[in-house]
Amino acid sequence: SLRKDTTKPKRGLGAAGTVVEGVELAAGVLREILGAMGNIERKVAINVENQTAMKWMALNTYFFSGTSDVVLPGEVQDNQVLQYNSRKTNGPVATGAVGVFTYAMDDGNTLAVLFSVPFDYNLYSNWWNVKVYQGSRRADQSMYNDLYYDAEPFRGDDRWYERDLGFGLKSRGSMSSSGQATLEIHVNSNNRPFLQ
């Protein structure tokens, strides 16, 4: 007799659009996500680790250019890592993978992450940012402008940067400089040391 297989397929650590238990974020996991995206000129694989002692709930993603083939993971518990990606739009269009995604945190504030992988490296560079906004706020053009132009973004230059986010939180992150970029961010409570 035929039986329906009701087991769920297992997803590896390198699956964008998922949340995994706190693991050591490694460049290998991000490269696995990039590889799964196929041969696309401009793309980014993103890991954000939650070490805040709070639950995060996805709000939305705003794309300035590009898109994603996966949904922003809905819920990220403490000690978990969200995995996400973005890519340029299909076809012969001169666009990059640029946008902002947001999460509502248990304290009522909003965590926002900017990623920017441009199409034209003669004019632009990779940039990223992370910021906590007071209250609940969805990502939009105004938030993108703030994170990209005004809130002191970090260059994607393969270096590590740390920042006090306010509200008892801090961040540490790094973005690679290529058109097939990786972005790794750790968001911690001030009383928790960074593991790397």
| Three-class HEC string of the chain | CCCCCCCCCCCCCCCCCEEEECCCCCHHHHHHHHHHCCCCCCEEEEEEEEECCCCEEEEEEEEEECECCCCCCCEECCCEEEEEEEECCCCCCCCCEEEEEEEEECCCCEEEEEEEECCCCCCCCCEEEEEEECCCCCCCHHHHHHHHHHCCCEECCCCEEEEEEECCEEEEEEECCCCEEEEEEEEEECCCCCCC
Q: What is the pLDDT of residue 129?
A: 99
Residue type, 39: N
Residue 163: inside a domain, yes or no? yes
Residue 114: inside a domain, yes or no? yes
β pairing state of 43-51 and 180-189: parallel
Q: What is the pLDDT of residue 1?
A: 40
β pairing state of 127-133 and 80-87: unpaired
How many domains does the chain divide into?
1
Domain of 59 in residue numbering reads as 18-189
Spatial separation of the C-alpha atoms in residues 108 and 137, rounded to whole Å: 10
Angle, CA of 124, 126 and 132, to the nearest 5°? 120
Residue 7: inside a domain, yes or no? no
Q: What is the pLDDT of residue 7?
A: 36
Q: What is the pLDDT of residue 127?
A: 98
Residue 13: inside a domain, yes or no? no
Residue 2: inside a domain, yes or no? no
Question: What is the pTM (predicted TM-score) of this model?
Answer: 0.86
Residue type, 162: E
CA distances from 187 to 46, 82, 162, 184 (A): 13, 11, 10, 10
> For residue 12, how many other CB atoms are within 10 A of its CB?
11
Torsion angle, CA of 159/146/33/171, rounded to 10 degrees? Answer: 50
User: Which residues of the chain have a pLDDT value below 50?
Assistant: 1-13
Residue 196: inside a domain, yes or no? no
Q: What is the pLDDT of residue 196?
A: 58
Residue 121: inside a domain, yes or no? yes
Residue 67: inside a domain, yes or no? yes
Q: What is the pLDDT of residue 15?
A: 67
Q: What is the pLDDT of residue 5?
A: 36
Q: What is the pLDDT of residue 49?
A: 96
- Residues paired with 101 in a beta bridge: 61, 113
CATH number at residue 94: 2.60.270.20
Can you tell me which residue has the tokens 């995995």? 83
